[in-house]
């Protein structure tokens, strides 16, 4: 099919080449080119090259596992299962009630093995989860220098500290009288906490409203998050004075939204 | 910000909100297009609308003109259209024994240049010169155009037979390239229901829409744009985005400084339309596609691979940190 299309394209390009004004002139004044050279010249043309590359790409994209191999795999699987059942039936008595019971016992044994394998997989998953959580908390608990915290605050690297860490930083900034930065630290506490609680996925290329849009949580919490985001926008991007919210009020809101993370911390 | 300024901006955003609602009465399911058309007007730029026929492009321009109590004209571009057909020409008056200027359709507030890519380069460049200079030169004499002269040019994205595609340098003169897509199913149903009730499908009877603005109001709105603030981090973000288009391997020619300027001003206009007097990163991201999409020339490899400017832009944005 691809070969036929290739020939068709070649024919179109060569016809186009003959019909082009330049080609007509050359045909009239000069002897015709050797057909092989002419063909090579056509194959060199960007139009053909572009088509060929596109065709190759399309073929790559359309690549599918051959049904023949799929059938072979199913046959192999069937064979393995048959062998397994043969083995199970050989291990149990063949006649009468005893034979039937033996077959049930064999099946139960196989089911037991399967359950054991599943249990082992689940235990492995639990161990992995615990280790990952521990690693995360150890990373969070690492003590950053003042300079590192200041840099994280400036660059908006919310995951540099845990939510509770950012809340402490906010309190320190209050003492310094840097109220604009206080709100920034509070918002970073919110993002860090929500990320740990699994309600958002923090990524540096996302805007605050993207987090609101993709928020995973109850509608009420989403509204609170939306209000806090609008407030942060006003203060940080709008460079407006902090409105009549007290720090403790905002801290409470942040803590409520990130409850899981704060409790854990 | 002073209370007076805050009150002014509040009035502006309130009026813009009313304008959007008024336009939505006749243009259904094209909210994004309407917003981008208003941004074009607020920035004092021009827009290139790209969409298949029958997606209310012409109707949107007429509706806009009606709500702004502006004059609107339409030119259907054809291969035999001459510059004098759009600019106008001097006609000899036998009675007065003098030449009189017969002004072309260019002398208006809003101009709909339908299928701009059907006219030859000579006519296109006459229009594009008027767009950037805001005056028309006829027989060596300069004639100023309306202070709010705005061109909404359209082109069909699927039919290129017998067209003269706009060169990159000329496309760069358009502030935005607005993609007009089919309306959503619900909106299309609402359109059908409206037509069923007797609303004219593609006509706008006088009095259908309430004029809310005058040309003077529009000029004041354009002036209000300078008061929209932008945090230094966001300004750097705009710069980083535009510069990244020049360093990406998939792009042969990235956006120029005009791209940065337009991205900044259109982000400010969007903020104003959203009722804010400050820009957020969301404003910038919303304007990246319409402002920069038509200012980039893709490399031969990207074109062969069939990559779209939108996808490349998306990959650029994924690598950039949002200021926070």
CB B23 within 8 A of CB B67: yes
- Smallest CA-to-CA distance from B213 within B23, B50, B7 is with B23
Beta strand ranges found along B85-192 (DSSP E):
88-93, 98-103, 110-114, 135-138, 141-144, 150-155, 176-180
- Smallest CA-to-CA distance from B195 within B19, B20, B26 is with B26
Q: What is the DSSP code (8-state) at residue B49? A: E
Predicted local distance difference test score (pLDDT) of residue B3: 62
Helix (H, G, I), strand (E, B) or coil at B99: strand
Predicted local distance difference test score (pLDDT) of residue B289: 93
Predicted local distance difference test score (pLDDT) of residue B66: 86
A21 lies in which domain range?
2-61
A53–B304 CB contact, under 8 Å: yes
Q: What is the DSSP code (8-state) at residue A101? A: H
A50 in contact with B at a CB cutoff of 8 Å? yes
B244 lies in which domain range?
228-324
Residue A153 and residue A260 in one domain? yes
Residue B93 and residue B156 in one domain? yes
Chain A and chain B share a number of CB contacts under 8 A equal to 58
Low-confidence ranges of chain A (pLDDT < 70): 1-43, 45-52, 54-67, 91-103, 132-143, 242-245, 259-265
Residue B37 and residue B145 in one domain? yes
Residue B192 and residue B249 in one domain? no
Q: Model confidence over B149-181: pLDDT tens digits?
A: 999 999 887 766 777 888 887 888 899 999 988
Domain total of chain A: 2
d(CA B15, CA B19): 6
Is residue A72 situated within a structural domain? no
Q: Where are the alpha helices (DSSP H) in B94-231?
A: 121-133, 168-171, 185-196, 215-224
Name every chain B residue with its beta carbon within 8 A of the beta carbon of A204. 321-322
Predicted local distance difference test score (pLDDT) of residue B156: 80
Is residue A167 situated within a structural domain? yes
d(CA B44, CA A60): 47
- Smallest CA-to-CA distance from A185 within A166, A207, A171, A162 is with A166
d(CA B122, CA B136): 14
Neighbours of A230 (CB within 10 A): 15
| Ordered per-residue pLDDT tens for chain B, 324 residues | 556 666 777 777 788 888 888 888 888 888 889 899 999 999 999 999 998 888 888 888 888 888 888 888 999 999 899 999 999 999 998 998 899 999 999 999 999 998 888 888 888 888 888 898 889 988 888 999 999 999 999 988 776 677 788 888 788 889 999 998 888 888 888 888 888 887 776 666 666 788 888 888 888 888 888 889 999 999 999 999 999 999 988 899 999 999 999 999 999 999 988 888 899 999 999 999 999 999 988 888 888 888 888 889 999 999 999 998
Is residue A241 situated within a structural domain? yes
Is residue B86 situated within a structural domain? yes
d(CA A238, CA A249): 21
Pairing type for strands B297-298 and B251-253 reads antiparallel
Predicted local distance difference test score (pLDDT) of residue A174: 79
d(CA B314, CA B258): 21
Examine the fold and report which residue of B181, B203, B226 is the final residue of a domain before the chain moves on: B226
The sign of the CA dihedral A127, A128, A131, A137 is negative
ipTM of this complex:
0.78
Pairing type for strands B297-298 and B88-93 reads unpaired
Residue B220 and residue B86 in one domain? yes
CB A188 within 8 A of CB A158: yes
A60 in contact with B at a CB cutoff of 8 Å? no
Minimal-distance CA residue of chain A relative to B237: A205
Helix (H, G, I), strand (E, B) or coil at B46: coil
Domain total of chain B: 2
Predicted local distance difference test score (pLDDT) of residue A193: 87
Residue A57 and residue A150 in one domain? no
Q: Which of A205, A236, A239 sits opposite B321 (nearest CB)?
A: A205
Pairing type for strands B98-103 and B88-93 reads antiparallel
- Smallest CA-to-CA distance from B116 within B176, B74, B62, B72 is with B74
Predicted local distance difference test score (pLDDT) of residue A98: 56
B319–A239 CB contact, under 8 Å: no
Written as six digits, the tokens of A49 are 């090259």
Examine the fold and report which residue of B174, B208, B226 is the final residue of a domain before the chain moves on: B226
Is residue B2 situated within a structural domain? no
Predicted local distance difference test score (pLDDT) of residue A27: 39
Predicted local distance difference test score (pLDDT) of residue B87: 92
What is the CATH number for B33? 3.40.50.300
The sign of the CA dihedral A222, A224, A230, A232 is negative
Is residue A138 situated within a structural domain? no
Predicted local distance difference test score (pLDDT) of residue A198: 85
Q: Model confidence over A35-71: pLDDT tens digits?
A: 666 666 666 766 666 666 766 666 665 555 556 777 7
Q: Which of residues 8-67 of B touch A (CB under 8 A)?
A: none
Is residue B6 situated within a structural domain? no
Residue B79 and residue B221 in one domain? yes
Written as six digits, the tokens of B249 are 């391997």
């Amino acid at each position: 099919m691809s070969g036929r299309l290739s020939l068709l394209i070649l024919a179109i390009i060569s016809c186009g080449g003959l019909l082009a004004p330049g080609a007509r002139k050359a045909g009239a004044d000069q002897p015709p080119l050797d057909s092989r050279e002419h063909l090579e010249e056509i194959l060199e043309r960007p139009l053909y090259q572009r088509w060929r590359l596109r065709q190759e790409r399309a073929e790559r994209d359309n690549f599918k596992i051959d049904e023949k191999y799929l059938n072979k795999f199913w046959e192999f699987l069937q064979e393995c299962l048959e062998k397994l059942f043969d083995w199970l039936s050989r291990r149990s008595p063949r006649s009468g009630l005893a034979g039937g019971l033996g077959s049930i016992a064999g099946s139960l044994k196989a089911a037991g093995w399967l359950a054991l394998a599943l249990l082992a997989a689940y235990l492995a998953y639990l161990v992995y989860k615990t280790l990952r959580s521990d690693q995360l908390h150890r990373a969070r608990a690492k003590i950053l220098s003042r300079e590192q915290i200041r840099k994280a605050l400036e660059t908006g690297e919310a995951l540099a500290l845990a939510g509770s860490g950012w809340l402490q930083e906010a309190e320190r900034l209050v003492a310094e009288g840097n109220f604009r930065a206080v709100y920034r630290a509070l918002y970073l506490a919110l993002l860090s906490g929500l990320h740990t609680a699994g309600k958002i996925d923090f990524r540096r290329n996302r805007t605050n409203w993207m987090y609101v849009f993709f928020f995973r949580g109850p509608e009420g919490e989403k509204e609170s998050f939306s209000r806090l985001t609008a407030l942060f926008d006003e203060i940080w991007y709008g460079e407006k004075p902090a409105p009549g919210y007290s720090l403790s009020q905002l801290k409470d809101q942040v803590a409520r939204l990130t409850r899981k993370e704060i409790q854990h911390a | 910000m002073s209370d007076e300024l805050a009150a002014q901006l509040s009035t502006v955003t309130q009026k813009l909100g009313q304008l959007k609602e008024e336009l939505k009465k006749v243009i259904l399911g094209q909210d994004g297009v309407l917003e981008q058309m208003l941004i074009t007007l607020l920035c004092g730029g021009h827009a290139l609308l790209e969409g298949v026929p029958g997606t209310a492009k012409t109707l949107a321009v007429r509706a806009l003109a009606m709500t702004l109590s502006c004059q609107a004209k339409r030119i259907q571009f054809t291969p035999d259209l001459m510059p004098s057909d759009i600019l106008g020409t001097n006609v000899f008056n036998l009675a007065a024994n003098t030449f009189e200027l017969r002004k072309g359709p260019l002398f208006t507030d809003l101009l709909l240049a339908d299928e701009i890519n059907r006219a030859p380069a000579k006519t296109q460049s006459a229009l594009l010169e008027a767009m950037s200079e805001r005056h028309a030169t006829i027989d060596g004499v300069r004639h100023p155009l309306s202070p709010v002269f705005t061109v909404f040019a359209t082109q069909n994205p699927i039919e290129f037979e017998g067209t003269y595609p706009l060169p990159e340098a000329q496309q760069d003169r358009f502030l935005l390239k607005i993609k007009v897509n089919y309306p959503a199913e619900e909106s299309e149903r609402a359109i059908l229901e409206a037509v069923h009730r007797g609303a004219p499908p593609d006509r706008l009877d006088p009095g259908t829409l309430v004029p809310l603005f005058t040309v003077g109001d529009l000029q004041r709105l354009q002036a209000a744009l300078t008061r929209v603030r932008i945090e230094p981090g966001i300004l750097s973000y705009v710069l980083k985005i535009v510069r990244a288009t020049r360093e990406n391997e998939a792009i042969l020619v990235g956006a120029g400084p005009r791209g940065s300027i337009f991205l900044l001003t259109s982000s400010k206009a969007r903020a104003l339309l959203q009722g804010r007097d400050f820009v957020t990163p969301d404003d910038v991201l919303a304007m990246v596609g319409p402002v920069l999409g038509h200012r980039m020339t893709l490399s031969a490899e990207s074109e062969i691979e069939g990559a779209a400017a939108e996808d490349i832009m998306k990959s650029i944005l994924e690598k950039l940190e949002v200021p926070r």
